[in-house]
Amino acid sequence: MNANAKSVTPPIGESERPARTAAVIPAAGRGVRLGPGAPKALRPLSGTPMLVHAVRAMAGSRAVSLVVVVAPPDGADEVQRLLDAYPLTGTTEVVVVPGGETRQESVRLGLAAVPDGVTTVLVHDAARPLVPVDTVDAVVAAVRDGSPAVVPALPVTDTVKRVEPRTGDRAGEPEPVVGTPDRAVLRAVQTPQGFDRATLAAAHEKIVLEGDGATDDAGMVERMGVEVVVVPGHEEAFKVTRPLDLVLAEAVLARRRKNDGF
Ligand code: CTP
Ligand code: MG
């Protein structure tokens, strides 16, 4: 791991100073649960594509010097044009690469575009466009302090049951409850998840999951036996998944505009 990296000052000239922290934004999903329409990441929130909000959220952290956007497999040119229409104000570089069929594959492809010299990688869902910069900074800080894998998370507010799912012919039947985990030990995880770059790369090399793949990068790191830690998440880092989430996102943006006005 890179726990000692901070104490080493590499002799690097100004012009070749490498990017130290990069954010990979998987944005290649269709957004099936959001209903018919454009790919989820391209849908507008307060007139601006969700993806642009997400890119700004990452670039808003002073630590992040590169953002890798993972576009739908056949949509990299369209996403590149879209991002060109919303230039960033700071110095953060943005690159676009085509993604894959699953989120795990998309993250792997994004990670492959991260240049040498980057030691910390954030993975952030385009579908969490409103994460506050303080949350991003807290994740980066925890990785730089030596944790190889850091996840922002919130306590679970609903009581959660384990059930025996009824699928196929039996879908829709009442599902038997098989347990109720103690809510006090549960956390709902968000993104950006932050990683020591080598740890995340090793997880994506070694962990192969069937079907839909991993929906959570930290889960892959856990499977390698590496410790993952949780830092406080934020309610505005919620994932836009279903139509009601769009209503909430618009309300959050309206509140921010109102607060900015005073
Ligand atoms: N994602 C991706 N590549 C895929 C699938 C998902 O990059 N093949 C990204 C999505 O674009 C999203 C993030 O992973 O930013 C979280 O996934 P999710 O919220 O499930 O988005 P979708 O897969 O687009 O939505 P749905 O599952 O409803 O289709
Ligand atoms: Mg999905």
Q: Looking at residue 260, what is its pLDDT?
A: 86
Point out the ligand 1 atom lying closest to the alpha carbon of residue 39: 24
> Which residues are CB-contacts of 209 (< 8 A; sequence separation ≥ 6)?
104, 220
Q: Which atom of ligand 1 is nearest to the CA of 127?
A: 15
Q: How far is the CA of 99 from the centre of ligand 1 (A)?
A: 11
Give residue 101 CA to ligand 2 midpoint distance, Å: 10
- Look at residue 209 in the predicted model and tell me its pLDDT: 73
Q: Quote the pLDDT of residue 213.
A: 75
Q: State whether the beta carbon of 125 lies less than 6 angstroms from ligand 1.
A: yes
Give the pLDDT score at 85.
Answer: 97
Ligand 1 pocket check for 39: Cβ under 6 Å: no
CB 153 within 8 A of CB 230: yes
Does residue 101 have its Cβ closer than 6 Å to ligand 1?
A: yes
Which of 25, 141, 47 has the alpha carbon at shortest distance from 94?
25
Give which of 63, 71, 52, 50 is closest to 23, Cα–Cα.
63
**Which residue, 165, 125, 152, 162, is CA-closest to 245?**
125
237 Cβ closer than 6 Å to some ligand 1 atom = no
Report yes or no: 46 and 253 within 8 Å, Cβ to Cβ: yes
pLDDT of residue 236: 98
Give me the pLDDT at residue 105, please: 95
Q: Is the CB of 106 under 6 A from ligand 1?
A: yes
Give, for all 262 residues of the chain, the pLDDT tens digit.
Answer: 444 444 445 554 444 554 499 999 999 999 999 999 999 999 999 999 999 999 999 999 999 999 999 999 999 999 999 999 999 999 999 999 999 999 999 999 999 999 999 999 999 999 999 999 999 999 999 999 999 999 999 999 999 999 999 999 999 999 999 999 999 999 999 999 999 999 999 999 988 776 677 789 999 999 999 999 999 999 999 999 999 999 999 999 999 999 987 6
Q: What are the domain boundaries of the chain?
A: 18-152+189-260
CA atoms in the 13 A half-sphere facing the CB of 145: 9
Nearest atom, ligand 1, residue 30 CA: 24
Q: What is the pLDDT of residue 116?
A: 94
- Any atom of ligand 1 within 6 Å of the Cβ of 108: no
d(CA 124, CA 234): 14
Range 18-152+189-260 classified under CATH 3.40.50.970: no
pLDDT at 249: 98
pLDDT at 184: 96
Q: Please state the length of the chain.
A: 262
